[in-house]
């Protein structure tokens, strides 16, 4: 006699569904409130605090360079270079570039590892402000959810201004102002196209790539690609 498959008991199934719903609500409620960023500039970030903690664990001084520069005082060459290098669809998406996510997922599937992030500038800002560099899928989900909140609460101009002021540009160097002064002894408003492209080219690995000495073949090639794309986009004559 053929045995019938066991039926799911309605009560345990409902309990599991309720638990999943409660967990989701709790997870969403744990997301940071980003509305204050409309009016206030962050005094620190999750990445900065992680850097300080690592330095202290090594018995080193946790010196951090962080000085705010309004977006109008950041060279348009630097702004355009960062947009071209990090998120050329910035003004068209709502926090997540799903085409890039799909391409990255396909690449990671072929390689059998998590390697390409496909994070937009908004996602990178979310990660820098509130999260960690971990590639944990749950952390990635939280990054996406925070990015949506940022896009809903803030203008694109404000998101770009925040990003340019908190992104890491070297050990203990955060933001366009400190980076411009550390690498080129210039105010961020004075950055040239070549310098802007070099700074943008260093973003994927800011602790190892020095924009003021782009002697490495990888950094030089990336800088030239960014400059070429800036010309094609009409940012340069």
CATH number of domain containing 142:
1.10.3810.10
Establish if 64 belongs to a structural domain.
Answer: yes
**Cα–Cα dist 176/70, whole Å:** 10
The answer to whether 222 touches 201, Cβ cutoff 8 Å, is yes
Establish if 95 belongs to a structural domain.
Answer: yes
Establish if 98 belongs to a structural domain.
Answer: yes
Q: Which residues contact 103 (CB under 8 A, 6 or more apart)?
A: 116, 118
> What is the signed CA dihedral for 61, 66, 67, 71, rounded to 10 degrees?
170
Length of the chain: 237
Establish if 41 belongs to a structural domain.
Answer: no
Residue bearing tokens 């996510």: 101
Establish if 195 belongs to a structural domain.
Answer: yes
Number of domains in the chain: 1
pTM > 0.85: no
Distances 128 to 19, 119, 132 between C-alpha atoms, Å: 31, 12, 7
**Cα–Cα dist 28/233, whole Å:** 38
Establish if 17 belongs to a structural domain.
Answer: no
Establish if 16 belongs to a structural domain.
Answer: no
Any idea what DSSP says for residue 189? G
Domain span including residue 146: 46-232
pLDDT at 226: 97
Establish if 92 belongs to a structural domain.
Answer: yes
Q: In what order do the strands lie in the sheet with 65-66?
A: 65-66, 173-174, 168-170
Long-range contacts made by residues 94-102, C-beta under 8 angstroms, separation at least 24? Answer: 94/148, 94/151, 95/120, 95/122, 95/123, 95/144, 95/147, 95/148, 95/150, 95/151, 96/120, 96/122, 96/123, 96/144, 96/147, 96/148
The answer to whether 148 touches 94, Cβ cutoff 8 Å, is yes
Listed in sequence order, the DSSP H helices in 112-216 are 121-130, 137-153, 156-166, 176-184, 193-202
For 99, the token pair is 């085409």
> For each of the chain's 237 residues, which pLDDT tens digit applies?
555 555 545 555 455 444 444 444 455 557 999 999 999 999 999 999 999 999 999 999 889 999 999 999 999 999 999 999 999 999 999 999 887 766 755 655 554 544 445 799 999 999 999 999 988 888 889 999 999 999 999 999 999 999 999 999 999 999 999 999 999 999 999 999 999 999 999 999 998 999 998 667 889 999 999 999 999 999 997
pLDDT at 124: 97
């Amino acid at each position: 006699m053929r045995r019938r498959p066991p039926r799911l008991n309605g009560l345990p199934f409902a309990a599991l569904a309720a638990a999943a719903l409660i967990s989701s609500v709790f997870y969403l409620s744990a997301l940071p409130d980003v509305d204050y960023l409309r009016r206030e500039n962050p005094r620190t970030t999750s990445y900065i605090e992680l850097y300080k903690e690592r330095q202290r664990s090594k018995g080193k001084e946790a010196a951090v360079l962080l000085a705010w520069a309004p977006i109008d005082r950041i060279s348009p060459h630097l702004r355009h270079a960062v947009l071209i290098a990090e998120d050329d669809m910035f003004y068209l998406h709502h926090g997540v570039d799903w085409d890039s996510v799909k391409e990255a997922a396909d690449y990671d599937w072929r390689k059998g590892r998590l390697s390409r992030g496909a994070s937009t500038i908004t996602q990178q800002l979310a990660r820098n402000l509130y999260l960690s560099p971990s590639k944990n899928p749950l952390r990635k989900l939280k990054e996406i959810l925070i990015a949506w909140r940022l896009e809903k609460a803030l203008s694109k101009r404000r998101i770009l201004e925040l990003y340019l002021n908190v992104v890491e540009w070297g050990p203990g160097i955060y933001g366009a102002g400190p980076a411009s002064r550390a690498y080129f002894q210039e105010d961020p408003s004075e950055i040239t196209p070549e310098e802007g492209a070099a700074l943008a080219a260093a973003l994927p690995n800011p602790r190892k790539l020095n924009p003021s000495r782009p002697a490495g073949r990888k950094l030089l090639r990336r800088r030239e690609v960014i400059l070429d794309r800036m010309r094609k986009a009409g940012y340069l004559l």
